[in-house]
A = this chain, B = another copy of it.
Amino acid sequence: MQVHIVHVHPEPASFNGAMTRAARESLACEGHNVTLSDLYAQGFDPVERGEHYSPRVDGGTFSPLAEQRHASEAGQLPADVAREIERLERADLVIFQFPLWWHQMPAMLKGWMDRVFVNGGLYTSRMRYERGYFKGRRAIASLTTGAPAAAMGPGGRGGDIERLLWPVHYSLHYMGFAVLPPFLAFGVAGHGYSYADDGAFDALLNGHLENWKSRLETIAHDEPLSFPGWGDWDGEGAALTT
């Protein structure tokens, strides 16, 4: 497999950093090719705005969708966006490694989606969901949370993790990816901060790393999550009554 990792954490020595290093090593040992987008290290700009587009289809009013579509068709996408798309196009599996911040992805990763999943080039009103651009490819979210697993079930204090991840999973489904069940490293306090002097905490982290490596060994055979598709909607996009 060709595997691409989109890695999002400001601190290389974080636990998220260790997760990505473990994934690279483990996947390479299994004979896979691994590429990496380390968004903080690259200095990726996650803010979609008019300045990214030159020339503009409309130099007056900035419409993200119109500029994305025009730049896609004209082969004039921003260089950093074009590079991310090339990496995705080569990948059979994309791993998103990030800490859960405020019940969602960090802004850096959200903005990567805002800018990289370009209208026109990577999706249209017809090229979506199971007809999406990345059809046949797989994606997985691997994330850390500060809260323990007990607090992240239905009704729990940290929020039901399945519910929290639904929007990002649905975006990946929109793009055509087969979305694998996420890998969840709970109880990683401090948004990935490493507490090297705490033996029990180190044991927790080492357990997560070993579980992640084990998961990666068999990931090619994982059953994807289920989402609604074209056969489930009427012409307006409403759910068909069944």
A: residues with CB less than 8 A from B are 10-11, 13-14, 40, 46-50, 60-66, 101-108, 110-111, 113-114, 117, 129, 146-148, 150-159, 163-164, 166-168, 170-171, 174, 190-194, 228, 232-234, 236-239
Known: A150-B236, A191-B64. A108 touches B157 (CB 8 A): no
Q: Report whether A238 and B151 are in contact in the complex, using a CB–CB cutoff of 8 Å.
A: yes
Question: What are the nearest 8 A-B pairs in CB distance?
Answer: A151-B237, A107-B111, A155-B239, A157-B237, A63-B193, A150-B236, A103-B167, A46-B107
Query: What does DSSP make chain A's interface, helix, strand, loop or mixed?
Result: loop
Q: Report whether A10 and B64 are in contact in the complex, using a CB–CB cutoff of 8 Å.
A: yes
Residue among B10, B157, B163, B193 making CB contact with A163, cutoff 8 Å? B163
Q: Report whether A166 and B168 are in contact in the complex, using a CB–CB cutoff of 8 Å.
A: no
Q: Report whether B150 and A237 are in contact in the complex, using a CB–CB cutoff of 8 Å.
A: yes
Q: How many copies does the complex hold?
A: 2
Measured between beta carbons, the chain B residues less than 8 angstroms from A111 are 46, 106-108, 110-111
Q: Report whether A49 and B233 are in contact in the complex, using a CB–CB cutoff of 8 Å.
A: no
Known: A61-B194, A153-B239, A192-B63. A107 touches B104 (CB 8 A): no
Known: A40-B49, A47-B108. A237 touches B63 (CB 8 A): no
Residue among B106, B110, B150 making CB contact with A102, cutoff 8 Å? B110
Instruction: For the complex, give the distance between the alpha carbons of A108 and B64 in Å.
Output: 14
Q: Report whether A10 and B62 are in contact in the complex, using a CB–CB cutoff of 8 Å.
A: yes
Instruction: For the complex, give the distance between the alpha carbons of A48 and B101 in Å.
Output: 11
Q: Report whether A237 and B170 are in contact in the complex, using a CB–CB cutoff of 8 Å.
A: no
Instruction: For the complex, give the distance between the alpha carbons of A111 and B239 in Å.
Output: 33
**Selected A-B contacts with CB under 8 Å, 23 pairs:** A10-B50, A11-B50, A40-B49, A48-B106, A48-B107, A64-B101, A65-B191, A66-B190, A102-B113, A103-B167, A103-B170, A104-B168, A107-B111, A107-B114, A110-B111, A147-B237, A148-B236, A150-B238, A151-B233, A153-B239, A156-B239, A157-B238, A163-B167
Instruction: For the complex, give the distance between the alpha carbons of A170 and B161 in Å.
Output: 12
Measured between beta carbons, the chain B residues less than 8 angstroms from A168 are 103-104
Instruction: For the complex, give the distance between the alpha carbons of A189 and B19 in Å.
Output: 39
Measured between beta carbons, the chain B residues less than 8 angstroms from A61 are 11, 13-14, 193-194
